[in-house]
Amino acid sequence: MLKKTVLAFISLIGLSLIPFSQSDAKSLTHPVQAGESLYSLSERYGVSKTSIQRINDLDTKMIEAGNTLTIPASISAEERELLAQLVHAEAKGEPYAGKVAVATVVLNRVDHPDYPNSVHDVINQVTETGHYAFSPVMDGAIDNEPDHEERKAVNEAIAARGEGQQSLYFYNPATATSDWVSTREQTIVIGNHIFAK
């Protein structure tokens, strides 16, 4: 019942509902047909043009019939809501741009070969040290209800997927418990968070 209520609310506020099953979580391949473009593939699969370019290491926006492209996994309504919950837990009180950037880090990890291939699996990933990659998963803060701004930030991050500084990490230097993350190449500072790759 709760799941149906959440989905009805998501539909009401205008988020797109993309069919999803666990088998869809991985990227797929697409043989390019004559007349297709990155734009048409973006529309067909519900992913950004930039993310298709990035995952295929394309230097141009032109694609050729006969080539096979990897299409990144689309984001389900359930994963959008989970991502909004993470943004709420990690970036509450941060500027809107910082909320978008936190969501973007998760999407960058989904698209990166060193991380799991779905939003759900990236958010719930357990590191080599046995800790969750995101502390709100461990402390339960991820279970709090996100607001409209956090859902909007997630939608903006999805729309711009693959763009930006390619940050894979973010941390608040005043509260970070790992010295390792501070050794990563800094990409941008937004509010109290440092983003890095």
User: In the chain, how many domains are there?
Assistant: 2
Q: CA 42, CA 87: separation in Å to the nearest integer?
A: 25
116 and 58 within one domain: no
* CATH number, position 68: 3.10.350.10
Residues 99 and 139 in one domain: yes
Looking at the fold, whether 98 and 116 belong to one and the same domain comes out as: yes
Please check the confidence at residue 13 and state whether its pLDDT lies above 60: no
The span from the CA of 63 to the CA of 197, in Å, is: 29
Do 190 and 139 have their domain in common? yes
Pull the structure tokens for residue 155: 């939608």
- Residue 25 binned pLDDT confidence (cut-offs 50, 70, 90): very low
Same domain, 81 and 66: no
Domain that holds residue 90: 77-196
Question: Confidence band (pLDDT; 50, 70, 90) for 176?
Answer: confident
Q: In what order do the strands lie in the sheet with 193-196?
A: 169-171, 193-196, 186-190
At 79-133, the pLDDT tens digits run 999 999 999 999 999 999 999 999 999 999 988 889 988 899 999 999 888 989 9
pLDDT tens-place string over residues 152-161: 999 899 888 8
Rounded distance between C-alpha atoms, residue 184 and residue 174, angstroms: 16
Is the pLDDT at 148 greater than 50? The verdict is: yes
170 and 131 part of one domain: yes
Cα-based angle 193, 87, 105 (whole degrees, multiple of 5): 65
Same-domain check for residues 138 and 166: yes
Identify whether 130 is part of a domain: yes
d(CA 175, CA 98): 16
Number of Cβ atoms within 10 Å of the Cβ of 56: 15
Whether 6 maps to a domain, the answer reads: no
pLDDT of residue 26: 60
Q: Distance from CA of residue 107 to its chain's centroid? A: 2
CATH number at residue 192: 1.10.10.2520
